[in-house]
Chain A
Amino acid sequence: MTEHTIGTVEEFEENDRLLAEVKGREVGVFRVDGEYRAYLNWCNHQGGPICKGPLTGRRTATFDRDTLETEFEWTEEDGVLVCPWHGWEFSLDTGVNLSRSDITLPSFPVREEDGEIILSL
């Protein structure tokens, strides 16, 4: 595995992500609750540039079988990454697809050290 410094912490002050191409592979780095996540910029669906997509939240629901009422809640604002091609949605924290739990965005180790963002490939 090789390490690559692709950016700095300062770049996350005004931006929600850092995208880079390293050795033929495109990666998107995001900051989630102070920790960094790096995902392949290639949607599992049809290879769209997922890491360029908008961020959104997640709608969860619970159903009460006795009252037949469904309660909805909007959570994880900006915690869901949406592919700009067909709208596939992935958790920014885990990389798991919101609809298909068996589909996960390929990810890579990434860390911050001395103010630098270091990606491992």
Chain B
Amino acid sequence: MFDDRPADVQELADAERTSDPSTVYDDVDSLPEWWRDLVYEFAERDLRPYRPSRLADDEIVYEVVRDLEERFDVQITVKSTVPGTDGEWKFVVDGATAIVTTHDRKAEGYTQYGVTSEELVDAVSTVASETS
């Protein structure tokens, strides 16, 4: 998806430590590739700077979920079907709901779920062991 990014953005990716394109990051290049790519994608689309969603204890959702998927050999889907700002979100493990929580897009520009990484790990391991 990012193979055809504009040359100037590629230049930026190869550049030395910089606060561009997102003024919220001191060093974009030190970020994990998935994160850095999204920073650039959002900048290209002239959106507010990308900030990854996090759990209640500020752990980054994608990284926790990816680790759990590898550890338990499961597929985790983070989803909701209920609209509205108070709608419930679910962490679903191989089709089974592990935990239901809140989803809050903060004024600071990132989403925060109402569950800690510890609670999520417990929930996922419980479901993973039940279905294995």
Contact = CB atoms under 8 A, between A and B. Distances in A.
A60 B35 CA distance: 41
A6 B77 contact: yes
A76 interface: no
B53 A26 contact: yes
A44 interface: yes
Contacts of B46: 44
B101 to A, nearest CB: 12
B97 to A, nearest CB: 13
B71 interface: no
Given A44-B47, A47-B47, A17 B83 contact: yes
Nearest to B110: A47
Contact of A21 (B47, B48, B78, B87): B78
A18 B35 contact: no
B45 A106 contact: yes
Interface in A1-36: 1, 6-7, 11, 14-26
B111 A6 contact: no
Contacts of A47: 47-48, 105, 109
B122 to A, nearest CB: 20
B83 A1 contact: no
A49 interface: yes
Given A23-B62, A47-B105, A48-B105, A11 B47 contact: no
A20 B52 contact: no
Contacts of A46: 48, 109
Interface of B: 1, 34-35, 38, 42, 45-48, 52-53, 61-62, 77-85, 87, 89, 103, 105, 109, 111
